[in-house]
Structure 1
Amino acid sequence: MSRSLVIKATSGEDAPERCNQAFTVAAAAVASGVDVSLWLTGEASWFAVPGRAESFSLPHAVPLGDLLQGILAGGRVTVCTQCAARRDLTEDDLIDGVRIAGAPTFVEEATADGVQALVY
């Protein structure tokens, strides 16, 4: 049985290293053939809006926009329902391929057989 990885990014510009780590691990896992689901919550939700990941900068890090494109190419990206609502974001505001879903979906993904969940 293959394992899957569910990663929750809980920060954005407010904690750039922690944010970048979540995207880096997700992109590396996708590149390794792992089934990846990246959840964007809190300030990380903004990176689902076109152009926002490209404006993020962290010295000595792969550009966040590149990481996000890699994740979208082989994995799933989800914005938390409540986090989207608090920022007045709808699916029409998001990058193609990013969905909005809530806690029941996160719990279902994170507790499935063969899944490892990480929170950054």
Structure 2
Amino acid sequence: MAGKFVVSLTCSKNDTDKATVAFVVANAAVASDKQALVFLSVEGTRLSQKGYADDIHEEGFAPLKELIANFVAAGGEIYVCSPCFKKRGLDENNLIDGAKIVGGAKLVEFMSDGAPGISY
């Protein structure tokens, strides 16, 4: 892998455009041979739940469910902010493939060698 890349996403159905574009960029990163990570926090944590993204489809883009699945299938990782997840009462037994609930220290560790990132 030629470096790392982080996409931080704080949106879900409250801004489906940002949620979609975040995963478009994440897919571009993993396709560019980056060790790519999507960090879901705040409302973005809802995307970690099976079925939640099923009806999100912004015009001009692939459906969000497909973008997420393609990202994971290509080797991308999804970190889910533990405090944000717990605050929303989400279900650990209903996580999408590739999602891991983590504390902030895991994100810091991933980025510690200067990984660039973008936030949505």
Q: What TM-score comes out, normalization by structure 2 length?
A: 0.89
Among all aligned residue pairs of Structure 1 and Structure 2, give the percentage whose two residues are the same amino acid: 31
Deviation at 1:31, TM superposition (A): 2.1
Correspondence for 1:39: 39
Contact residue 16 and residue 58 of structure 1 kept, 8 A:
yes
Contact map agreement 1:11 1:42 (CA 8 A) in 2: yes
Once residues 84 and 93 of structure 1 are traced to their aligned partners in structure 2, the CA distance between those partners, rounded to angstroms, is 12
- 1:90 CA displacement: 4.0
| Partner residue, 1:21 | 21
Structure with the larger helix share: 1
Moved more, 72-81 or 102-111: 102-111
Distance 2:59 2:4 in 1: 30
Query: Contact 1:4–1:34 (CA<8 Å) still a contact in 2?
Result: yes
CA distance in 2, matches of 1:96, 1:29: 19
Q: Distance in 1 between matches of 2:32 and 2:5?
A: 12
- Residue 37 of structure 1 and its aligned partner are, at CA, apart by 0.7
Q: Aligned residue for 1:97?
A: 98
Tell me, in whole angstroms, the C-alpha distance in 1 between the residues paired with 2:90 and 2:29: 28
Contact 1:30 1:70 (C-alpha < 8 Å) held by counterparts: no
* Contact 1:91-1:99 within 8 A present in 2 as well: no
Q: 1:27-57: CA deviations, max 9, x gaps?
A: 1211222210111111111111111112212
Supply the RMSD in Å over aligned alpha carbons.
1.6
Any stretches of 5+ residues in structure 1 without a counterpart? none
Q: Aligned ranges for residues 1-120 of structure 1 at < 5 Å? A: 2-73=2-73, 74-113=75-114, 115-120=115-120
Unaligned runs of 5+ in 2: none
Q: TM-score, normalised by structure 1?
A: 0.89
Alpha-carbon distance in structure 2 between the residues aligned to 1:13 and 1:94: 17
